């Protein structure tokens, strides 16, 4: 979806940087969004289903406990 793409784009532009849910809401949905910031969780779940190879291991979009989410930094072994 467009919102999932915007979330991915926002995080991928700054790999390794942890974004709060509110920051992701503001960047992906706009400052005038009046829904719950936990909506990000549902969009991230859907995004992971589309881009992750293994549902049990989040290699691209990582949860940062107490903060939100980040796009994983590239590694030497990345495919």
Residue 33 has pLDDT above 90, yes or no: no
Q: pLDDT at position 35, please?
A: 61
- The total number of structural domains in the chain stands at 1
Percent of the chain with pLDDT over 70: 85
Does some domain include residue 77? no
Whether residue 76 lies inside any domain: the answer is: no
Residue 19 contacts residue 11 (beta carbons within 8 Å) = yes
Task: Indicate whether 46 belongs to any domain.
Answer: yes
Q: Which domain holds residue 55?
A: 2-71
Average of pLDDT values for 25-49? 82
Cα Rg of the chain, angstroms:
12
pLDDT at 3 over 50: yes
Average pLDDT over residues 39-61: 87
pLDDT at residue 34, as a whole number: 63
- pTM of the complete model beyond 0.85: no
Task: Read off the CATH number of the domain in which 21 is found.
Answer: 1.10.10.10
Examine residue 35 and state whether it is found in any structural domain, yes or no: yes
Residue 45 lies in a domain: yes
33 assigned to some structural domain? yes
23, part of any domain: yes
Q: Is residue 79 part of a domain?
A: no
Measured between alpha carbons, how far is 16 from 61 in angstroms, rounded to an integer? Answer: 10
């Amino acid at each position: 979806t467009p919102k999932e793409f915007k979330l991915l784009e926002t995080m991928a532009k700054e790999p390794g940087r942890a974004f709060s849910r509110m920051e992701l809401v503001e960047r992906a949905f706009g400052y005038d969004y009046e829904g719950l910031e936990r909506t990000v969780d549902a969009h991230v779940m859907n995004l992971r289903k589309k881009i992750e190879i293994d549902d049990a291991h989040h290699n691209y979009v990582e949860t940062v406990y107490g903060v939100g989410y980040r796009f994983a930094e590239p590694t030497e072994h990345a495919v």
